[in-house]
């Protein structure tokens, strides 16, 4: 059935061998020999092949708690006996009720480590008793919350938890057994979960006609994320390319840091077991394609992705060899891929602030915002937050569009523009009067100006979907929808 001596993938195609073939191999080997020579006189040749002694056990979570902001336990599950039932008291006493709450999400108290996360008005705390895998624990919490949300219909907060005790218990039992993570895929859980989530009245139920899940259906290891026998009357795929653009600009107007993190969200309502193939205008993919079809790349913008990660459904081997994204999608909504770009980012907005301090008690703030995307598209929900000193007494504004307001709780002037057309500019000039105090001799470095916005039909990276092919053996037609949107991540301009 399996040959223990052979690794299946022996084809030498990827990164390391490329690099090594590129480099003179003899050089590498001579190095290795030297290394061995150095070692042999003293040690047996297998010196380096000895594992360090130590704990080799996988680490399981001992308990998971959901607390509200006051520290009351909303729900908990103790998976193991190695920590006490009252660990939550320790958490309350030593973390929640101290100033340390915000200082670090991983804390050790006694022999136990606590990983905690706040999501809306709930703290989720995982307790472990030994040297656990932190990244795994946090990812698990995030995934679990996403799962709960899919059952509750959007919101995850104290009320949702209180309304869904039984469901959460059921889910917690299925997604983790004796502290080891099990299956978190919603598709498969549907087979085992009996409760329905109590949805908040505002969430809209998907009006979908679905095949009734067959409770005895076997989910094979082959395509673990998709059930067989799905039928849709109308086969549709929705693609959302969502980018968030991060910017840090110095007060002199030079870009200190700028990148785009994007994700492609997909909603699939497809029958059967469809095979999908997605083409993007990324450089490597296009080059590979032209190489395979032996024809030059068509002119047009190509972009370079710094890094890509995919949903587990994507065939990574094929991505590595052919540079195409091909996959059998899960049913419903999921995140197909994430990417990051640092080169050639199109910043949608330019911000030009001038701030003058006129004596001790007066300040003049002038902010000009220019939109640099296409004239036919609009940005929505533009917010510019200009920080002002704490001792602000009075403000007055003049704006060319939108509305400005002084918000004392965040010590900022908040300027909102609902709709901002491309290739235009808007300015705000404000006068700020300050209470004169003796405390601050010199103003500290001001916090940066922050911006929020959404630009539909625009990608800061320039990424475009070239094609999305759906292939299924029954050969039905599919309707594909593609949307683009760019949001502000942390868009900061120092002033």
Closest to 127 (Cα-Cα) out of 71, 60, 180: 60
> Within 13 Å and on the Cβ side, how many CA atoms surround 61?
30
Phi, psi of 265 (to 5 degrees): -100, 145
DSSP notation for 111-143: TEEEEEEEETTEEEEEEESSS--HHHHHHHHHH
Residue appearing with tokens 């199109």: 346
Nearest to other proteins of 318, 429 (CB atom): 318
Residue appearing with tokens 């996959």: 327
Rounded to an integer, what distance in angstroms lies between the CA atom of residue 350 and that of residue 251? 13
| Sequence-distant (≥ 6) Cβ neighbours of residue 189 within 8 angstroms | 147, 171, 174, 175, 183
Nearest to other proteins of 173, 289 (CB atom): 173
Scanning 207-296, the segments in alpha helix (DSSP H) are 283-293
Nearest to other proteins of 295, 439 (CB atom): 439
| Sequence-distant (≥ 6) Cβ neighbours of residue 260 within 8 angstroms | 243, 244, 245, 246, 340, 341, 342, 345, 460, 461
SS3 call for 17: helix
Nearest to other proteins of 40, 290 (CB atom): 40
CB of 66 to other proteins, least distance (A): 10
CB of 268 to other proteins, least distance (A): 17
CB of 375 to other proteins, least distance (A): 31
CB of 187 to other proteins, least distance (A): 12
CB of 199 to other proteins, least distance (A): 17
Nearest to other proteins of 363, 426 (CB atom): 363
**DSSP letter, residue 102:** G
Nearest to other proteins of 212, 215 (CB atom): 215
CB of 398 to other proteins, least distance (A): 27
Closest to 251 (Cα-Cα) out of 389, 355, 390, 383: 355
- Beta strand segments in 13-169, E: 63-68, 73-78, 106-109, 112-119, 122-128
Nearest to other proteins of 445, 477 (CB atom): 445
Rounded to an integer, what distance in angstroms lies between the CA atom of residue 187 and that of residue 226? 7
Closest to 322 (Cα-Cα) out of 282, 292, 363: 292
CB of 145 to other proteins, least distance (A): 10
Phi, psi of 199 (to 5 degrees): -85, 150
**DSSP letter, residue 400:** S
Phi, psi of 237 (to 5 degrees): -130, 130
Nearest to other proteins of 181, 381 (CB atom): 181
**Pairing mode of beta strands 378-387, 449-456:** antiparallel
Nearest to other proteins of 25, 206 (CB atom): 25
CB of 76 to other proteins, least distance (A): 8
CB of 204 to other proteins, least distance (A): 26
CB of 369 to other proteins, least distance (A): 18
Nearest to other proteins of 5, 209 (CB atom): 5
Nearest to other proteins of 209, 212 (CB atom): 212
| Sequence-distant (≥ 6) Cβ neighbours of residue 129 within 8 angstroms | 62, 80, 82, 83, 111, 112, 113
CB of 388 to other proteins, least distance (A): 13
| Sequence-distant (≥ 6) Cβ neighbours of residue 360 within 8 angstroms | 434, 436
CB of 186 to other proteins, least distance (A): 13
* Bridge partner list, 64: 77, 126
Nearest to other proteins of 178, 481 (CB atom): 178
CA distances from 429 to 381, 408, 485 (A): 20, 18, 30
CB of 114 to other proteins, least distance (A): 11
Task: Work out the angle between the directed axes of helices 25-39 and 15-22 (0-180°, nearest 10).
Answer: 100
Nearest to other proteins of 39, 236 (CB atom): 39
């Amino acid at each position: 059935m399996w040959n223990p001596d052979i690794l299946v993938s022996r084809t030498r195609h990827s990164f390391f061998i490329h690099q090594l073939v590129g480099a003179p191999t003899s050089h590498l080997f001579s190095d290795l020999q030297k290394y061995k020579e150095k070692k042999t006189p003293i040690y047996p040749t297998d010196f380096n092949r000895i594992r360090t002694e130590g704990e080799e056990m996988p680490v399981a979570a001992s308990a998971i708690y959901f607390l509200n902001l006051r520290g009351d336990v909303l729900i908990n599950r103790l998976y193991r006996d190695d920590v006490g039932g009252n660990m939550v008291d320790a958490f309350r006493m030593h973390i929640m009720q101290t100033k340390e709450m915000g200082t670090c999400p991983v804390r050790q108290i006694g022999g136990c480590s606590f990983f905690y996360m706040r999501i809306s008005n709930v703290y989720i705390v995982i307790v472990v008793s030994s040297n656990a895998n932190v990244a795994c624990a946090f990812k698990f919490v995030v995934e679990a919350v996403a799962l709960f949300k899919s059952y509750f219909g959007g919101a995850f907060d104290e009320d949702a938890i209180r309304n869904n005790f039984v469901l959460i218990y059921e889910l917690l039992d299925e997604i983790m057994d004796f502290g080891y993570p099990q299956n978190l895929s919603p598709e498969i859980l549907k087979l085992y979960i009996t409760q329905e989530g109590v949805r908040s009245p505002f969430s809209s139920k998907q009006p979908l006609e679905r095949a009734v899940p067959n409770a005895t259906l076997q989910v094979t290891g082959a395509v673990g994320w998709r059930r067989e026998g799905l039928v849709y009357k109308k086969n549709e795929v929705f693609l959302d390319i969502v980018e968030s653009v991060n910017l840090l600009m110095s007060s002199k107007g030079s870009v200190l840091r700028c990148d785009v993190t994007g994700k492609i969200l997909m909603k699939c309502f497809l029958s059967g077991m469809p095979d999908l193939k997605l083409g993007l205008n990324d450089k490597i993919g296009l080059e590979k394609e032209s190489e395979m079809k032996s024809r030059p790349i068509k002119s047009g913008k190509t972009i370079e992705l710094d890094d890509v990660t995919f949903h587990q459904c994507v065939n990574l081997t094929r991505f590595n060899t052919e540079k195409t994204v091909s996959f059998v999608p899960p049913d419903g909504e999921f995140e197909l891929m994430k990417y990051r770009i640092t080169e050639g980012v199109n910043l949608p907005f330019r911000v030009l602030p001038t701030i003058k301090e006129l004596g001790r008690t007066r300040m003049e703030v002038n902010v000009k915002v220019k939109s640099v995307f296409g004239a036919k598209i609009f940005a929505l929900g533009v917010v510019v937050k200009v920080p002002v000193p704490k001792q602000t007494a009075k403000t007055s504004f003049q704006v060319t569009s939108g509305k400005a307001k002084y918000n004392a709780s965040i010590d900022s002037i908040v300027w909102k523009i609902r709709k901002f057309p491309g290739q235009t500019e808007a300015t705000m000039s404000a006068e700020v009067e300050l209470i004169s105090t003796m405390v601050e001799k010199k103003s500290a470095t001001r916090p940066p100006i922050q911006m929020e916005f959404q630009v539909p039909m625009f990608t800061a990276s320039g990424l475009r979907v070239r094609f999305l092919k759906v292939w299924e053996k029954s050969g039905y037609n599919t309707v594909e929808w593609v949307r683009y949107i760019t949001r502000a991540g942390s868009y900061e301009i120092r002033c």
